[in-house]
Amino acid sequence: MAASAIPTFSIDEFLQQEREKDLLRFSTAGSVDDGKSTLIGRLLYDTQSVYEDQIRSIEGKGTTAPGQIDFALLTDGLRAEREQGITIDVAYRYFSTGRRKFIIADTPGHEQYTRNMATGASTADAAVVLIDAAKGVLVQSRRHAYIASLLRVSYVLVAVNKMDLIGYDEAAFRAIERDFRLVLEQIAADTGNPVEAQFVPVSALIGDNIVHRTNAMPWYTGPSLLELLESTPTSVDTSAAPFRFPVQRVLRPDHTFRGFAGQISSGTIRPGDKITVLPSGRSADVERIVTWEGDLAEAQAPLSVTLVLSQEVDISRGDLIVSSATPATVAKRVRAALVWMDQRPLERKRRYLLKHTSHTVPAFVSSIEHRTDIGNLSRQPAATLEMNGIGVVNITLLRPMALDLYGTNRSTGAFILIDPETNATVAAGMVTSISDRGVTGTATAGPVTARERAARWGHRGGVLELNGPVELVDQIERSLFLHGVITVRVDAADPPGGADAELVKHVLKSIVESGLVALAITETDSEDLRARVQNDQIVVNANEGDKAIASVNELLERAGICMSHRSEEHTSELQSLRHL
């Protein structure tokens, strides 16, 4: 009798099969205690994507009944998360099935950590929104769904969890489905991004409809959550999109080589293709595409490569290399949807740093069009955005930047705002429209003009005379500093040049011509503060510090030294600097 052949395992065939599988990135969303981490843990456990030692390490721990595994511990790895039974940070997990590979972003449900949810959803192709069957649709579920829609997540899988706690009641499931479909329709109408939603009743703790279909709900005949994930379309292929390449580093190992390293955000590039460098507008041809393994004949997103050009072009970190046939828009004003993430509310007159790909420029919010009330999804007028607030704003950049609409390109249409004082990320933004009005080419020769200095610093040069208590003067200087005004402090009692009035006058003139603001300070014990710019003088009570600071800011705006934020919507920066 012939022996049966024993199938052999080939590592090469296995790796080839893995490479041929497509990848789906998805994030979880929903309110606190909806069971997001438990669902992900159950998904990993039932797909045999966790090791036995991991299971043993969590047995008998957590908040479940004796003899049960707390699956949330498979993703909640921080000590504070396990102690409090909540998710704080974004936990990324990888697993695969016979059909597809997955990367999960398990995000927190607490309102305090909404910023982490936005981080996890920013690269997702789909979102799994959990709703507690016993609680129904909560405000945080609405907020997460709204943010996912802003981030152009087009596929939403709504898992109505904890069905076992309500006796697998079909009527309760259908009521939640009706309510949340209406919410998603309202969100799509507001954000302009329609979503494709599918609903599935589950029990993450027991495992109903997570990986395998259950008999506990015979009234539900649809697929399980995993089956939905395996059939959800992945993200749109960006290789056919316009070429975008943010420069991360200039490589110059010796005098024979000069290349520009970065990751391709979208599109395809080949040697011989004509490119344009933005915002300068200079053009060249691609000579080589260099990688560690050797030169490539073609490179697509999201490869990291080094481009060598056919001629010497002045390029530095932050520049955007684009296809000359389909360039990005160079602008200094954008309209954007903004998710505010900082405890300190948005200040319209405060200068922030706008980071877009590898490029960072000073910017300020010139106006707030509206704030979205997540409770009823209505648009409301607002003077600021509080933490976790969502709204639409107009932003003025102090230097030109090359951007795309977020709906066209998620990489080059997104940005973050940074507080320059604390270096904290305070907001995430998605560009909805771009204004290139008043943007001109960058001069490369001749002396630097007053107009160019004003565009760079965000204000004109001038002399502000302050006469009053030193404590209030310090507060005024600090306020100007936080708003991005570059000042030089000159003590009237001990000026540079001493008693030589002509030399003092020359020093002040040099400061002004450099585009800076000279603070000519005279310290007194008076209860009044006197501030003057040229012939415009104000006198305010020194004991009312906030009012005095606001009055000085208005004085600088009237003098044309600081650009008026209130008039940004109606008057271009070039008009405000016309008299320079």
d(CA 383, CA 349) in angstroms, rounded, equals 11
Q: How is residue 112 annotated by DSSP?
A: G
Query: Per-residue confidence at 383, pLDDT binned at 50, 70, 90?
Result: very high
Residue of 264, 316, 314 lying closest to 273 (CA atoms): 264
| 522 touches 529 (CB < 8 A) | no
At residue 28, what is the residue type? T
Query: Per-residue confidence at 247, pLDDT binned at 50, 70, 90?
Result: very high
Say whether pLDDT at 7 is over 80.
Answer: no
| Percent of the chain residues topping a pLDDT of 90 | 33
pLDDT in tens, 534-559: 888 889 888 888 888 888 888 888 88
Task: Give the Cα-Cα-Cα angle 73, 74, 79 (nearest 5 degrees).
Answer: 45
In this prediction, residue 83 carries a pLDDT of 44
Mean pLDDT of 111-132: 80
Q: Where is average pLDDT lowest: 50-54, 256-260, 270-274, 346-350?
A: 50-54
Say whether pLDDT at 270 is over 90.
Answer: yes
Mean pLDDT, rounded, of the chain: 83
Of the ranges 81-90, 362-371, 447-456, 485-494, the best mean pLDDT one: 362-371
* pTM, full prediction: 0.73
Per-residue CA distances from 564 to 217, 335, 429, 458, 482 (Å) = 63, 18, 23, 11, 16
Q: Which two tokens stand for residue 393?
A: 């704003």
Query: Per-residue confidence at 168, pLDDT binned at 50, 70, 90?
Result: very high
Of the ranges 80-84, 96-100, 197-201, 560-564, the best mean pLDDT one: 197-201
* 194 prior amide bond cis, ω within 30: no
Q: How is residue 210 annotated by DSSP?
A: T
Half-sphere exposure of 427 (CA within 13 A, CB side): 31
Residue of 393, 534, 384 lying closest to 463 (CA atoms): 534
d(CA 397, CA 57) in angstroms, rounded, equals 51
Helix (H), strand (E) at residue 370? strand 359-373
Q: Where is average pLDDT lowest: 3-12, 356-365, 402-411?
A: 3-12
| 250 touches 316 (CB < 8 A) | yes
In this prediction, residue 99 carries a pLDDT of 85
| 479 touches 555 (CB < 8 A) | no
In this prediction, residue 445 carries a pLDDT of 60
Q: Which two tokens stand for residue 454?
A: 């004003």
